[in-house]
Amino acid sequence: ARAVHYQPEPQRLVFDSVEGGTVSKFSQLRIYWHGWTLDELAENLFLAETKLEVATEDYRFVEPISNFDPWEHNEDQSKTIFALPFVEIDWVSTSFEIAVPH
C-alpha cells in the first residue's frame, strides 16, 4: 500500500514509501494530469530536479459496447478524454515528490 497526497504549498504531489511486504509486479508508474494543459505540464513538471517528459493519449475508463444501429456507424466518443496528458516514471518503493505547475 502507498499513500498519495497533494500538498497545496509548495504545490507537490507526494507519494509516500510503500508499506507492507508485497512486491509490485509493475516497473512503471503512469500518472494522468486531468485539468492541466500540455503546455503547463511540459514546462513545469519536475521529479527532484529533473523535468519530466509529458505525453498525451485518448483515454476511456470503459470501452464502448457495439453500435447496434445498422444505419449509424459512428463510434460513441462521449466517454473519451482526448489528449489526456500523462507522465511515466520508473517504479520505486521509496517516497518521492513531483512539483506540480501553479
Tens-digit pLDDT profile for residues 18-69: 999 998 899 999 999 999 999 999 999 999 989 999 999 999 988 777 767 6
The angle formed by the CA atoms of residues 49, 53 and 58, to the nearest 5 degrees, is 145
For residue 2, pLDDT beyond 80: yes
23-26 long-range Cβ contacts below 8 angstroms, 24+ apart: 24/91, 24/93, 26/91
Would 71 be classed as within a structural domain?
no
Q: Is the pTM of this model over 0.85?
A: no
Q: How many domains does the chain have?
A: 1
Q: Where does residue 18 fall: left (phi above 0), alpha (psi -120 to 50 degrees), or beta otherwise?
A: beta
Average pLDDT over residues 74-92: 88
User: What are the DSSP E strand ranges found in the chain?
Assistant: 4-7, 12-15, 28-32, 46-47, 50-51, 55-60, 80-90, 96-99
- Show the domain range for 14: 4-19+28-63+78-99
Would 68 be classed as within a structural domain?
no
- Strongest mean pLDDT among 46-50, 71-75, 87-91: 87-91
